[in-house]
Amino acid sequence: MKRLNSQLQQDGAPLELILLIRTLLAGCKEISFRVSQGALAGVLGSTLSENVQGETQKKLDVISNQILKDTLRESGYVKAISSEEEENVVPCNPEGNYLVSFDPLDGSSNTEINSLIGTIFSIAHAPQWMKPDDPSAFLQPGTQMVAAGYVLYGPSTMLAMTTGRGTHLYTLDKTHGGFLVTNANVQIPEQTSEFAINTSNQRHWEAPIQQYVSDLIAGSEGPRKKDYNMRWVAAMVGDIHRVLCRGGIFMYPFDKRNPKIPGKLRLLYEANPMAFLIEQAGGLASTGEGRIMEVMPHEIHQRVPTLLGSKEEIEACLAYYSKDKNKKAVAS
């Protein structure tokens, strides 16, 4: 099997980016070990503090965040870090050429039930004229990413990553500590009969997504004339991994409960890196209003509605938005 280095070289990644990715993954391998120890290492449960998002932090959230911060700061390749767990950016080497954004432990509440969790990351070029502590350096659209991926801590530790030359899946070989390519150039099936969404929020969705999901649930007796299955891991890494492996549509749409917060998922740490992976695998990634990777961030913890997955199913979902928009235009 091909090793990580060989695949990155084949994809034309520059040496410094390869070294940075290897450094980042060294931190992820340590997180993988901590996760695998579970209750034996005393790392489960919640802390007494909240993160910048107002969410109660799990012990593993804090540990994972610190591991990645320490590993990346010591590398010398990184100018600054932005993390879901940090209120402000973390300055690193003023001469560093890259910016790294990450969610250190996505789905961390799943640690209590020994279910899927993971680390999501993205890498972009650092503007050399900006200071390391300037958060505006991170306010770049997703189209500027040079690499993105996630490490899934499951029965095996897997890496999904792209540097813009296709999405590849790797598996950690714990006998020698390296990631090996186990599925190169993943292609998401264009059609699907699976969807992932938290249906407990249905009453808060906008009309287009309410109608779309209702039609999916109606199955072969409804307008879609096909039966669908719902799958929901409650960790984005797990749901997106399933989409990459066998197709599907993942949705975290606009929620009317707080109009000032248009979505649950963070653009820098979750939506953008996953959109990059999905697009490189032949899928589509949208907010419902436009392409996720073209959204211009206005702050580092910005949230966006998120629709990711199989091309034809995303297009079918977006047709509900277009129909609703036309209906409102006629009414006005």
113-147 pLDDT, tens per residue? Answer: 888 999 999 999 999 999 999 999 999 999 999 99
pLDDT value at residue 42: 67
Tens digit of pLDDT for each residue in 270-283? 999 999 999 999 99
What's the pTM? 0.94
Residue 38 confidence (pLDDT)? 77
Q: Quote the pLDDT of residue 283.
A: 98
Do 58 and 47 touch, CB atoms closer than 8 A?
yes
Q: What is the pLDDT of residue 40?
A: 74
Q: Where are the alpha helices (DSSP H) in 156-285?
A: 207-218, 236-246, 272-280
Q: Which amino acid is at 216?
A: L
| Kind of pairing between the strands at 98-106 and 229-230 | unpaired
pLDDT of amino acid 48: 44
Pair type for strands 56-58 and 90-91:
unpaired
Please give the Cα distance from 148 to 282 (Å, whole number). 16
Q: Within the chain, which residues score under 70 in pLDDT? A: 41-58
Integer Rg of the chain from CA: 20
